[in-house]
Amino acid sequence: MLVAPLAAGREASLRALLATMNVTPGTADPHNPIVPFAAIERLHYARLVLLDDALQVDLDMLGVPRPRLPTVLSFMGDCDGPAHEVLAELVQRAGEGLRSIFAHCEGFVADTDLLAWMQAHDRPIAASYVNWVGRTVRQIKEESALQRVLSATISRVAVNSGAQARALHAELRSFVNTEARAGRLVLTPDAPTPFMWRVAKLAHLLLVPLVGLLFLPILIVLSPLLIYLLRTRETTDPEICPRPQAKALGELQVLEDIDVSNQYTAIGAVKPGLFRRWLVSVLLVLINYACRHVFTCGFLARVQTIHFARWVFIDDKTRVIFTSNYDGSHQGYMDDFINKVAWGLNLVFSNGVGWPRTRWLILGGARIEQDFKRYQRRHQVPTQVWYKAYPGLSLHDLTRNQRIREGLENTQMSDAQTLAWLRLL
């Protein structure tokens, strides 16, 4: 994720420029001449957001000094493979357009090396979630085409025996083979996971618990103190959940419910003091760990509708940006959060200034429905430009299409499995 402060007096012109990239407010034209996102084949999602420091006003309520922060532009994307390769591709295919955008940022001049500048402004991701690790844009598009063809082709008659189900499966297989030979369907085989990527993942899998083990004795010794510090803060930290302005709410809603997926961008200040700073840092390491090793195939705890999500620290860890791409309506997304994973939300966000009161880090908080809903809307920021590579497809569609393809290629299915596969179509 790239974060760069705007040059003084350039905000209005940047907003106007970003608006020209959209086909409807907030939704990017995939082929817009500034950044033709669709030309970057490995890009799932991308967004451009302006983040100001308006919410820092809450620090006044805490009685801590409020540093004035410049408005920043953030550019982020979710891609297959290493980010630096996709950045290089962006520079190659949209160099001129990106220059026209970043020319609004501080320190960007005509002879700036674009790639080097972008890399220099890249911020490390504190934690990131990917719904299905390894599912590429190409795979998604090919499997969607396969599903459409198969669903249109299949004869919808009752299947009376296992033999008949297998015959239907074989028939569809040969049909797909014919289509593939004619070039009407493409099913690229899975690329092997790069060796180094697997090594890195294994190292991460082992190292984090090892480091944890190292600190465990200290944590155990300190636990009464830590619990005391947590509980005193939890009972006294001010809750700041006023109702968002109607105008601000309208500016968010106009961007939503165009596609089956929506975007969410929010920003907030970390509660002042070392305790919260360290706590949120450690928790994000743990969440990142869980996302990398546990929640890798279709679900983040009970939530199955988040495509990508990430947490990024900015301004020397005094603020956190959270972004996600999710299926369904905003109201549905928030109700899912409250009803299914309020505990997980509380873990991280209760370290943010003003969060509804929690108990023992996971209870209360987001379960205080009305406070939480006002809080999250107030902290949400309109996403100026949002791109999705596969409009019209939800995560349920992606997973189903993946299973359709797997089943098609599997010639060893039992009768029951074959029948279940036919029902997917």
Phi-psi region of 31 (alpha: psi -120 to 50; beta: other; left: phi over 0): alpha
329 binds other proteins (CB under 8 A): yes
Neighbours of 89 (CB within 10 A): 17
Q: Which of 232, 339, 410, 414 binds other proteins (CB under 8 A)?
A: 339
Question: 208-236: b or e for each residue (b if 16 or more CB lie within 10 Å)?
Answer: beeeeeeeeeeeeeeeeeeeebbeebbee
Cβ 363 to other proteins shortest distance, Å: 9
Beta bridge partners, 309, equal: 129, 324
Going by C-alpha positions, the residue among 43, 80, 110 that lies closest to residue 387 is 43
What is the spatial distance between Cα 114 and Cα 124, in angstroms, rounded to a whole number? 19
Nearer to other proteins, 315 or 397 (CB): 397
Beta strand 306-314 with 363-364 is: unpaired
Quick check: 301 binds other proteins (CB under 8 A)?
yes
Q: Please pick, from the candidates 174, 193, 223, 253, the single residue that binds other proteins as defined by CB under 8 A.
A: 253
Nearer residue to other proteins within complex by CB, 223 or 329: 329
Between 13 and 414, whose beta carbon lies closer to other proteins?
414
Task: Give Cβ neighbours of residue 169 (< 8 Å, ≥ 6 apart).
Answer: 407, 408, 413, 418, 421, 422
Q: Token pair 């500048």 is at which residue?
A: 117
Copy the structure tokens of residue 326: 């999710």
Site for other proteins in 270-289 (CB under 8 A): none
Question: In sequence order, what DSSP letters do the residues of 93-130 get, joined into one string?
Answer: HHHHHHHHHHTTBTT--TT--HHHHHHHTBPPPSEEEE
The interface region with other proteins, picked from 55-63, 158-166, 173-181, 196-204 by CB under 8 A, is 158-166
Residues with Cβ within 8 Å of residue 28, at least 6 apart in sequence: 21, 22, 35, 37, 46, 385, 386, 387
Cβ of residue 48: shortest distance to other proteins, in angstroms? 21
Distance CA(130)–CA(79), nearest Å, equals: 10
CB 288 within 8 A of CB 208: no
- Of residues 11, 400, 403, 417, which one binds other proteins by CB under 8 A? 400
Of 33-41, 232-240, 250-258, 409-417, the window that binds other proteins (rule: CB under 8 A) is 250-258
The answer to whether residue 175 forms part of the interface with other proteins (CB under 8 A) is no
Residue 71 lies near other proteins (rule: CB under 8 A):
no
CB of 328 to other proteins, least distance (A): 6
Q: Which 353-372 positions form the footprint of other proteins (CB under 8 A)?
A: 367-370
Least Å distance, CB 195 to other proteins, is 29
Tell me, by CB under 8 A, how many residues bind other proteins.
53
Smallest gap from residue 352 Cβ to other proteins (A) = 20
Q: Does 66 bind other proteins (CB under 8 A)?
A: no
Question: Taking the chain, what is the end-to-end CA distance rounded to the nearest angstrom?
Answer: 38
- 306 Cβ contact partners less than 8 Å away, ≥ 6 residues apart: 129, 131, 300, 324, 325, 326, 395
**Contact call for residue 247 and other proteins (CB under 8 A):** no
Decide: is 331 part of the binding site for other proteins (CB under 8 A): yes
Distance, in Å, from the CA atom of 139 to the CA atom of 191, rounded to the nearest integer, reads 10
User: Shortest distance, CB of residue 375 to other proteins, whole angstroms?
Assistant: 13
**Could you say whether residue 160 binds other proteins (CB under 8 A)?**
yes
Q: How far is the CB of 165 from other proteins (least distance, A)?
A: 7
Examine residue 242 and tell whether it contacts other proteins (CB under 8 A).
no
Q: How far is the CB of 256 from other proteins (least distance, A)?
A: 7
Q: For residues 74 and 402, which CB has a smaller minimum distance to other proteins in the complex? A: 402
**Whole-angstrom distance, CA of residue 235 vs CA of residue 29:** 48
Q: Are 328 and 334 in contact (CB under 8 A)?
A: no
Tell which one of 110, 157, 210, 220 touches other proteins (CB under 8 A): 157
| 165 lines the binding site for other proteins (CB under 8 A) | yes
Q: Which residues bind other proteins (CB under 8 A)?
A: 154, 156-160, 165, 168, 243, 246, 249-250, 253-254, 256-260, 294-295, 298-304, 327-329, 331-332, 335-336, 338-340, 367-370, 373, 391-392, 394, 396-397, 400, 419, 422-423, 425
